[in-house]
Amino acid sequence: MKPTLNNLVKGFIAANGDIPSTPIKNIHLHSGNVQPGDLYIAVHGTTSDGHDYIPEALENGASAIITNGRDVGTLPVPQVKVSNPRKAASFVAAEYYRHPSKELHVVGITGTNGKTSTATLITSILNEAGCKTAQLGTLGVFAENHEQGKTLTTMDAINLQKLLRDLADDDFSHVVMEVSSHAIHQYRVADVEFDTTVFTNLTPEHLDYHGTMEDYYHAKAKLFKSLPLSATAIINTHDEYGQRLIEESTAPVIKTSVTNNSDVHFKDVHSSLRGITGTIAAGEHEVEINSELIGDFNKENILSAVGAALAMGIPIGTIAAGINSCKVVTGRMEAITSPNGAPIVVDYAHTPDAYEKVLNTIYNLVPENGQLITVFGCGGNRDAANRPIMGRLVEQFSDYFYITPDNPRYEKQEDINKEIIAGLSSDKYDVFEERGAAIKTALNDLKHNDVLVILGKGRETYQEIEGVRHPYSDIKIIEEFCAHNAI
């Protein structure tokens, strides 16, 4: 059946009988993408209002418009007025693409830190089990014949439903996706039917958007408050917000923790710069782990992945093989060996909690006669209150450090630096205007028993300055240095 306006909004608004059966060829949130016969949904964004672009959508041939009821004058096409166009976009997209998540097993992972690592581990387990699996998140879309580059953690509702339909039609059985608090709050995943959900942790981030930690928590918790009984929630109870979430989940919960005998926990474990080994106890089962991932926080991510795999009924041996075959999560505690043998660790960490976890872990693994050197910066137009805290954490764990740009966006770099320096109490640092120069200096000065940690960008391939993304890569600079200085 070809989609029509009245069928797409049926069930979303009560006055369906008054909605004409206008044929709809496609649906769009961006007026510039509209073509003749398409439905345009006007959404109020952070910097602009989609209602202002209705004339452009009409000029491009829109056959119908969904608005929030704002007075936009008399339109030459049907107008459907709703209280929340974002929520409407999610509902209409799911209807238009025939609810593809019903045909897939969808794993949703949310939390401040650890989403990408946990998603990568779960995907590795599913691949080991022979499942045709797609992974969606900050690193992009990883799916055979559907791969695409880095995007938002969670794409908009229409593109997400379209991708899920393409994956279902291509016989994918599982989708493992990171779910951001923005996506939940903006209803991008409101009509995705999740079968397994994972909560990693919650620490201060995005408070420029959510306002308070309580509002940030409720945005995350919303994902767990609408689950069916047939779903399963995997919750890290080592986190205080995870403990709260247990009581609020509408689905059965599998509890994980690195510090107590939860449903899934380590019976014994050893961590080093070479990886994590140990035995995980999960009810009557035990999982032997020999992972190349480093960092104490990866213990939590491994437990979450094991819990999710158990919820999906994957055999213990397959779970172990999947964990152990996951060699590296790109840009997350990614270790590279310098020509003189010193470890270089690249991590996407960009919150105080992530900084503390990464630096504390590595600090305890640095050779007795070595130093911990850190390169970092703070992003512009994001959580300015975190800057002195992050500077203080770097100072606490590092023997020396370099302050650099990290996507200054529309802020002046000198203003960002001043706020970082406000948290410092020593002068064991240098400030660089160019991030690449700082990394090259640190690499040249690195001794064989030192450890260099580069925080913030991970595998990003740009620096965002004044709205322009300039080509840039920490990894490329390191690789070029290693190749040029190879012994």
15 has a pLDDT exceeding 60: no
Tens of pLDDT, residues 347-361: 988 889 889 989 998
Q: Based on the domain organization, do 284 and 342 belong to the same domain?
A: no
As a whole number, mean pLDDT of residues 114-122 equals 93
DSSP-derived pairing of the beta strands 105-110 and 133-137 = unpaired
Q: Which residues pair with 343 in a beta bridge?
A: 337
231 has a pLDDT exceeding 60: yes
Mean pLDDT of the chain: 92
175 has a pLDDT exceeding 70: yes
Kindly report each contact of residues 149-153 with a partner whose C-beta sits within 8 Å and lies 24 or more positions away, as own/partner. 150/460, 150/461, 152/180, 152/182, 152/183, 153/115, 153/178, 153/179, 153/180, 153/182, 153/183
Q: How many helices (H) and strands (E) does the chain have?
A: 16, 22
What's the CATH code of the domain at 346? 3.90.190.20
Q: Quote the pLDDT of residue 364.
A: 87
Q: Based on the domain organization, do 306 and 342 belong to the same domain?
A: no
User: Is residue 462 packed enough to be buried (19+ CB in 10 Å), middle (13-18) or exposed (0-12)?
Assistant: middle
Confidence tier at 11 by pLDDT (50, 70, 90): confident
The whole-angstrom separation of Cα 5 and Cα 63 is 9
The whole-angstrom separation of Cα 109 and Cα 124 is 15
The whole-angstrom separation of Cα 224 and Cα 208 is 23
As a whole number, mean pLDDT of residues 260-285 equals 91
Give which of 12, 16, 163, 159 is closest to 91, Cα–Cα: 12
Phi-psi region of 447 (alpha: psi -120 to 50; beta: other; left: phi over 0): beta
Q: Quote the pLDDT of residue 150.
A: 55
Give which of 224, 351, 253 is closest to 297, Cα–Cα: 351
239 has a pLDDT exceeding 50: yes
As a whole number, mean pLDDT of residues 456-472 equals 93
The whole-angstrom separation of Cα 442 and Cα 436 is 10
Q: Quote the pLDDT of residue 346.
A: 94
Structure tokens at 470: 């300039």
Q: What share of the chain is helix, strand, coil (3-state, %, to 5)?
A: 35, 25, 40
Structure tokens at 341: 């043998």
Q: Based on the domain organization, do 66 and 110 belong to the same domain?
A: no
Residue 94 domain flag: no
Q: Based on the domain organization, do 141 and 120 belong to the same domain?
A: yes
Of 134-148, 186-200, 448-462, minimum mean pLDDT range: 134-148
As a whole number, mean pLDDT of residues 229-239 equals 96
Residue 92 domain flag: no
- Which residues, other chains included, contact 424 with Cβ-Cβ below 8 Å and sequence gap of 6+? 388, 391, 392, 395
Q: Quote the pLDDT of residue 225.
A: 94
pTM score of the predicted model: 0.79
Confidence tier at 205 by pLDDT (50, 70, 90): low
Q: Based on the domain organization, do 321 and 387 belong to the same domain?
A: no
Residue with tokens 């509209």: 34
DSSP line for 209-271: HH-SHHHHHHHHHTTTTT--TTSEEEEETTSHHHHHHHHH-SS-EEEE-SSS--SEEEEEEEE
Residue with the larger pLDDT of the pair 242 and 182:
242
| Residue-range definition of the domain harbouring residue 122 | 100-325
Tens of pLDDT, residues 390-435: 999 999 999 999 999 999 999 999 999 999 999 999 999 999 999 9
Q: Are 374 and 401 in contact (CB under 8 A)?
A: yes
Q: Quote the pLDDT of residue 280.
A: 97
Confidence tier at 174 by pLDDT (50, 70, 90): very high
Tens of pLDDT, residues 62-108: 999 999 988 888 999 999 999 999 999 999 999 999 999 999 999 99
Q: Quote the pLDDT of residue 391.
A: 97
17 has a pLDDT exceeding 70: no
As a whole number, mean pLDDT of residues 38-46 equals 91
Q: Are 19 and 92 in contact (CB under 8 A)?
A: no
Phi-psi region of 33 (alpha: psi -120 to 50; beta: other; left: phi over 0): alpha
What's the CATH code of the domain at 62? 3.40.1390.10
Q: Quote the pLDDT of residue 210.
A: 58
Q: Based on the domain organization, do 391 and 309 belong to the same domain?
A: no
| Residue that is last in its domain, among 82, 111, 138 | 82
| Residue that is last in its domain, among 295, 325, 355 | 325
Residue 58 domain flag: yes
Q: Based on the domain organization, do 143 and 217 belong to the same domain?
A: yes
Confidence tier at 5 by pLDDT (50, 70, 90): very high
Residue 165 domain flag: yes
Q: What dihedral do alpha carbons 151, 157, 158, 163 form, nearest 10°? A: 60
1 has a pLDDT exceeding 80: no
Q: Based on the domain organization, do 342 and 395 belong to the same domain?
A: yes
Q: Quote the pLDDT of residue 162.
A: 95
User: Is residue 299 packed enough to be buried (19+ CB in 10 Å), middle (13-18) or exposed (0-12)?
Assistant: buried
Residue 88 domain flag: no
| Residue that is last in its domain, among 325, 345, 378 | 325
Q: Are 257 and 303 in contact (CB under 8 A)?
A: yes
380 has a pLDDT exceeding 70: yes
Give which of 274, 315, 265 is closest to 125, Cα–Cα: 315
Confidence tier at 153 by pLDDT (50, 70, 90): low
Q: Based on the domain organization, do 211 and 346 belong to the same domain?
A: no
Residue 91 domain flag: no
16 has a pLDDT exceeding 50: no
Q: Based on the domain organization, do 249 and 283 belong to the same domain?
A: yes
Q: What is the DSSP letter of 340?
A: T
Q: Based on the domain organization, do 165 and 272 belong to the same domain?
A: yes
Domain count, the chain: 3
Q: Based on the domain organization, do 388 and 364 belong to the same domain?
A: yes
Give which of 136, 318, 105 is closest to 231, Cα–Cα: 105
Residue with tokens 């929030």: 68
Q: Which residues pair with 259 in a beta bridge?
A: none
207 has a pLDDT exceeding 60: no
DSSP line for 52-100: GGHHHHHHTT-SEEEE-S------SS-EEE-S-HHHHHHHHHHHHTT-G
User: Is residue 430 packed enough to be buried (19+ CB in 10 Å), middle (13-18) or exposed (0-12)?
Assistant: middle
Q: Quote the pLDDT of residue 13.
A: 74
The whole-angstrom separation of Cα 375 and Cα 346 is 10
Residue 374 domain flag: yes
- Which residues, other chains included, contact 193 with Cβ-Cβ below 8 Å and sequence gap of 6+? 99, 101, 102, 106, 228
What's the CATH code of the domain at 169? 3.40.1190.10
Residue 89 domain flag: no
